[in-house]
Amino acid sequence: MTYQDNLQYIHESHYFSRSILLYPEKSGVYPQILIRKFVELREIIVRLCYFISILQKCRDRGEGELLAIQDRVSEMKTQIGKVIMGKEDVVELLMNALINQGHVLLESVPGTGKTLLAKSIARSIDGEFSRVQFTPDVLPSDVTGIQFFNPKEQQFELRVGPVKTNVLLADEINRATPRTQSALLEVMEEKQLTIDGETVTIPQPFIVLATQNPIESQQGTFDLPEAQMDRFFMKVDLGYPGYADELQMMQTYRENQPFESLASIFTKEALIGFQDEVKKIRVTEDMEEYMLSIVKATREDRYVDVGVSPRGTLAFMRACQGNAAIKGRSYVTPEDVKHIAPYVLSHRIVLSLDGATIKTQDEIIESILEEVAVPAEYGVTKE
């Protein structure tokens, strides 16, 4: 019996019951029909209650997963806040990248805690951590691994490099040669690497946290090509801590090393489960058109030579879903879009020669966000 059939029976039963109340003298005309209709109505109500209970369980389970993500991120911010003061927003962004299987480029001046932050993330997810300190003489095989000859066994053996881990810190990646930088491309995109024809799968979850110092001169550094920049899910600038945060840092580190007391917040299996849940975050057609309008504006801006790619569009949508999940919502709002856009889109655009002398990439994105109209009706209701 379809939903429309159920409604039809309800209306008919309501008509008969109302007739008995309004015209009692005619009640003997169809008592048997009325009894039959009430029996059918009772069965329909029981059936509807059963379906409602199932839907309620499904909804509670979905909201429960979202609340679990929100609670874990809150715990993560509290714990890492004991090591890196005043960077709760950065922790949220890194968690967004983790649940979306993305990679992050951390850019800031030296000494702001980029390496310590990466190690703290690895410990919080109970994952393995590896670090590669890039210099101009680092070879691709130093990153991915090699086939070496074992004289004792008289055969070649595969020795996988530091990329086979959960959290890979690519420290000062802009000091590596383009050949070595490109060794990360397959790993970042395909979650696998190939060594002398042998394919090695990278364990999940997997995230690359690459750092670079913007103040270094062009001597001894190699700017990341646009193709590799586009493979980073986000670009985050740590910046200096605030006055109160830096004061707290001095008082905390005077006698203690808070990193040693960090504990895991959730297991790797739980994080993989969160990665599946975030894909279910609702994105309405209005929100899709709003995000696409922003992306399209980057391609038409007079100060931009190369706008956001289709890969960037998908990353933009996933990041908005991730932000909604972290906030405990099952749907994306314009606030998610505006908050995430600078971190996901800025590093994906290439400014023209004139544009580079007038505006920065962040300023271009901010101006686009001001110009693109927000949907008059969000079209989002919590069901």
**Residue at 203: amino acid letter:** P
Q: Any idea what the CATH number is for the domain that residue 284 is in?
A: 1.10.8.80
In a domain? residue 258: yes
What does the pLDDT look like over 302-336, one tens digit per residue? 999 999 999 999 999 999 999 999 998 889 999 99
Within the chain, what is the greatest distance between any pair of CA atoms? 106
Residue bearing the bigger pLDDT, 104 or 5: 104
User: For the chain, what is the domain count?
Assistant: 3
Per the listing, tokens 């908050």 go with 339
Residues 88 and 135 in one domain: yes
Q: Are 183 and 144 in contact (CB under 8 A)?
A: yes
In a domain? residue 70: no
What does the pLDDT look like over 156-179, one tens digit per residue? 888 888 999 999 999 989 888 888
Residues 95 and 119 in one domain: yes
What does the pLDDT look like over 17-34, one tens digit per residue? 555 445 454 445 455 665
Q: Which residues contact 204 (CB under 8 A, 6 or more apart)?
A: 101, 166, 191, 268, 272
Residue 75: per-residue pLDDT: 87
Q: Which helix (H) or strand (E) holds 195?
A: strand 192-195
* Edge-to-edge strand ranges of the sheet holding 207-212: 129-133, 167-171, 207-212, 104-107, 234-237
DSSP state at residue 351: E
Q: Distance between CA atoms of 176 and 167, rounded to whole angstroms?
A: 19
Pick from 250, 277, 304: which residue ends a domain?
277
In a domain? residue 65: no
Q: Distance between CA atoms of 238 and 343, rounded to whole angstroms?
A: 12
Residues 264 and 289 in one domain: no
Q: Are 337 and 309 in contact (CB under 8 A)?
A: no
Residues 162 and 137 in one domain: yes
Q: What is the pTM of this model?
A: 0.78
Q: Are 134 and 172 in contact (CB under 8 A)?
A: yes
Residues 13 and 41 in one domain: yes
Per the structure, the complete domain to which residue 246 belongs is given by 81-277
What does the pLDDT look like over 274-297, one tens digit per residue? 888 899 999 999 999 999 999 999
**Residue at 175: amino acid letter:** R
Residues 144 and 272 in one domain: yes
Q: Are 363 and 342 in contact (CB under 8 A)?
A: no
Asked whether the CA dihedral 101, 295, 92, 278 is positive or negative, the reply is negative
In a domain? residue 73: no
Q: Which residues contact 227 (CB under 8 A, 6 or more apart)?
A: 185
Residues 98 and 213 in one domain: yes
Residues 35 and 154 in one domain: no
How large a percentage of the chain has pLDDT more than 90?
38
